[in-house]
């Protein structure tokens, strides 16, 4: 039985770790927030006393943390206790520079690493339908692919270390911009007197079709169930999307890339986050 340590049991990590525990895998979890453990009752997941305990009990370590600062801190604390040949997989969404730097240090200690940020949100994490964008050696990816197949429906090896993070920030910049356009389209349709269910049927089956409509429609009562049906509670927080857009803006500056619409989108999410609505799902952007 494979022994997997899972660090970061919040909105995303909870569903991912539970799905792993349903297979022939021994999962030991750790989170600095004790409240995270409440969601793991009635599961097979064991709880580590500390990082040292988790490292000693695991062959594979997965991290799902809020930002690059947290990833750097946790990986730095774990590496002194690590053993040559252990696998370190980071599923957080962080800046490319930090992702590359922590993996370089880990590889120098004989560890096998991947960056594997995800797309699909909390719903995808709970249902095991995530897409993993992976950076790292092909041999390591092939050895760890079975985990991605348990936690998601798709995994793509995008290139060397940091490539997964690069793909993720490009994807999220597009998603954030698309969500604004979806909201404007439905608002125009409403003002034109259209039945929004009919408009959904048209868009979801024609050239306007996209994930933000088909799977995550931001209009209450339209399309499959989404955070919009729960007053935008839960889901993927606006503050987190704002953070991811910041990573894209920084990366664009570093690479001298032109992202005019991306910057406008970033400014909009910044405004909403600073207006104390950062806790709401990012699709709430259509109401602002």
The tens-digit pLDDT sequence of the chain (288 residues) is 689 999 999 989 999 999 999 998 999 999 999 999 998 988 999 999 999 999 999 999 999 999 999 999 999 999 999 999 999 999 999 999 999 999 999 999 999 999 999 998 888 999 999 999 999 999 999 999 999 999 999 999 999 999 999 999 999 999 999 999 999 999 999 999 999 999 999 999 999 999 999 999 999 999 999 999 999 998 889 999 999 999 999 999 999 999 999 999 999 999 999 999 999 999 999 999
Q: Which helix (H) or strand (E) holds 108?
A: helix 96-108
Among residues 286, 130, 267, 159, which one has the least CA distance to residue 222? Answer: 286
Residue whose pair of structure tokens reads 């370190």 in the numeric block: 88
- Classify domain 166-287 by CATH number: 1.10.1040.10
Q: Are 124 and 155 in contact (CB under 8 A)?
A: no
- The helix/strand/coil state of 250 is helix
277 is catalytic: no
Q: Which of 3, 83, 97, 168 is catalytic?
A: 168
Domain spans of the chain, in order of start: 2-160, 166-287
Measured between alpha carbons, how far is residue 89 from residues 10, 25, 138, 152, 244 in Å?
17, 16, 14, 15, 19
Q: Would you put residue 193 in left (φ > 0), alpha (ψ -120 to 50) or beta?
A: left
- Distance between CA atoms of 47 and 76, rounded to whole angstroms? 21
Report domain 2-160's class. Answer: alpha beta
Q: Are 122 and 134 in contact (CB under 8 A)?
A: no
């Amino acid at each position: 039985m494979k022994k997997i340590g899972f660090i970061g049991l919040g909105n995303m990590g909870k569903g991912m770790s539970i799905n792993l525990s349903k297979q022939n895998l021994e999962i030991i979890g750790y989170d600095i927030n004790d409240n995270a453990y409440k969601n793991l009752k009635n599961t097979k997941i064991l709880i580590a006393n500390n990082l040292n305990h988790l490292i000693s009990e695991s062959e594979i370590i997965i991290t799902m943390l809020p930002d690059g600062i947290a990833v750097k801190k946790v990986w730095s604390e774990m590496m002194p206790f690590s053993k040559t040949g252990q696998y370190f997989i980071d599923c957080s969404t962080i800046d490319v520079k930090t992702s590359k730097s922590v993996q370089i240090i880990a590889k120098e200690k004989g560890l096998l690493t991947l960056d594997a940020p995800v797309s699909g949100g909390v719903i995808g994490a709970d249902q095991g339908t995530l897409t993993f964008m992976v950076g790292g050696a092909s041999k390591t990816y092939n050895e760890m692919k079975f985990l991605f197949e348990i936690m998601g429906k798709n995994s793509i090896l995008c290139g060397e270390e940091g490539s997964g993070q690069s793909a993720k920030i490009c994807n999220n910049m597009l998603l954030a911009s698309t969500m604004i356009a979806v909201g404007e389209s439905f608002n125009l349709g409403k003002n034109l007197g259209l039945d929004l269910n009919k408009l959904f049927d048209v868009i979801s089956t024609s050239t306007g079709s996209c994930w933000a409509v088909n799977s995550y429609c931001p209009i209450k009562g339209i399309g499959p169930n989404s955070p919009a049906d729960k007053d935008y509670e839960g889901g993927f927080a606006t503050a987190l999307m704002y953070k991811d857009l910041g990573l894209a803006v920084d990366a664009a500056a570093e690479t001298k890339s032109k992202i005019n619409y991306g910057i406008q989108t970033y400014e909009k999410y910044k405004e909403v986050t600073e207006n104390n609505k950062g806790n709401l799902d990012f699709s709430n952007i259509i109401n602002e």
